[in-house]
Amino acid sequence: MPDHNQLPHIAEAQRTPLVEQLLEQIEHLLEENRRQAEPIQQLRDEIAVLKGQKAKPKCKPSGMETETEAGGDADGADEGDSGGDEVTPRRPRKRPGLSKRRKLLHEQLRKWGIDISVGQIDALLSGATEDFLLEKDQLLITGLAVSRYITVDDSGARHQGNNGYVTQIGNDWFASTGSKSRINFLQLLHAGNLTYTLNAHALSYFQEERLPKEPLRRLQAHTQATISHVACWEAHLDALGIERECHRRIATEGALLGGLIEKGFALDLAIVSDGARQFAILLHALCWVHAERLVHKLIPLNAQQREDQERVRGEIWELYADLKAYQRNPDPALVPTLTARFDAIFTQRTAFATLNQTLKRLHGHKEKLLLVLKRPDIVLHTNGSEGDIRDYVKWRKISGGTRSDPGKRCRDGFASLKKTCRKLGISFWDYLGDRINGHGTIAPLPDIIRERAAAASTVP
């Protein structure tokens, strides 16, 4: 039987414009079918579960196969169809009761030498956390002030039975919200002290986002206005007669950005992301690992396309290695050569039309992928953020979602504090014991970050 997912090899002499066009359309259709297969299967599995049936189990690949992409989304649905007509319902997972968990936590803390009662643990978990959460928020403010770049990422997070998102900023700061929009990201950067400011930076943003003339004119008439509450800002937009949702979104994004810069947010702070639109503000750099992944995940349809894909991937990784070398030892004389190699790789044409489209799209992000040539101090990937998010996802899959707003704040807060302690070389349990007992032997974490950043800046 012929493989209908494989295209025959067509010699170059036979590749007329019509043939090229038809091949490109076929590739597009096959790629579209592949992308639709997974969500269709997810729907089939959900229907099966609702009917009391079992979704088709996910079979692990052979150990002989090497995993090439570390840590994909932990929430991926099972592949394949619903699998048979079994009607045995799934049994719910058993979780330890809250009292049992507190007892186990108490026993573990006592083993570690922390003198604490079950009542103190209950108070800590249920409300006596404000000092911890204030220190957590100060971590973001300090980190943004002393950093030259930050990496960012996000993932799913359940709260009160609803799907939401957790955003990770700067490798160790987490916040769970119901949105992953640019407005949400800008609000998080304000670290709990929102200000909407209509200044020159906000107006510049409005123009970049092509806000129409009439709402732009109305906003310009209130330049230098600063508003500190969401409800007041919404009322201000109402008073200006700005009603369309897209216009209100752009106005809100620009005002939040203007407020950040007014408070001292550094214009040269580089934000390194996987390319998600919500992170694309100010000086934005893209992760090379995610860029190459777009090429890697393409499905070639014949031997020639497979050969082209592997060759291009090799060229990308060779350039990436040379960019890392440049990062370690910047030499302005190498910039033209590295830039020319980037252009050659991402503007080439192969026998793989979908690959050509992907390369063209990546070439459109040239400035963001080659920001390292101007800023060798930034990283070329978001591996740190991905690693932190992965740990958070594991925690979520074990513990489930949060039920109360204080519980959500505690989950984000202690995850942030724990990660920060680890990266500062401080025992998290020593930190907890110091704070609970009021010893004060461990300085506030933001102060430690600030001191180490100052010491690092003096090293030649």
pLDDT of residue 437: 87
Q: Average pLDDT for residues 12-24, to the nearest whole number?
A: 75
How far is the C-alpha of 152 from the C-alpha of 155, rounded, in Å? Answer: 11
State the pLDDT confidence band at 392, using cuts at 50, 70 and 90.
confident
Res. 358: pLDDT tops 70: yes
| pLDDT, tens digit, 9 for 90 and up, residues 255-314 | 999 999 999 999 999 999 999 999 999 999 999 999 999 999 998 888 999 999 999 999
Q: Which long-range contacts (CB under 8 A, 24 or more apart) does 314-318 make?
A: 315/345, 316/288, 316/291, 316/292, 316/345, 317/292
State the pLDDT confidence band at 55, using cuts at 50, 70 and 90.
low
Kind of pairing between the strands at 283-286 and 173-177: unpaired
| pLDDT, tens digit, 9 for 90 and up, residues 72-115 | 333 333 333 333 333 333 444 444 645 566 677 778 778 877 78
| pLDDT, tens digit, 9 for 90 and up, residues 202-231 | 999 999 999 999 999 999 998 877 899 999
Res. 59: pLDDT tops 70: no
Res. 235: pLDDT tops 80: yes
pLDDT of residue 459: 64
Closest CA to 354 of 27, 13, 4: 27
pLDDT of residue 30: 72
Segments making up each domain of the chain, as ranges = 1-59+69-90, 126-190+381-458, 196-262, 288-373
The model's pTM: 0.75
User: Which tops the pLDDT comparison, 150 or 459?
Assistant: 150
Find the length of the chain: 460
pLDDT of residue 77: 33
pLDDT of residue 389: 87
Res. 17: pLDDT tops 60: yes
| pLDDT, tens digit, 9 for 90 and up, residues 161-197 | 888 999 999 868 999 999 999 999 999 999 889 999 9
Mark residue 57 as left, alpha or beta (left: phi above 0; alpha: psi -120 to 50; beta: remaining): beta
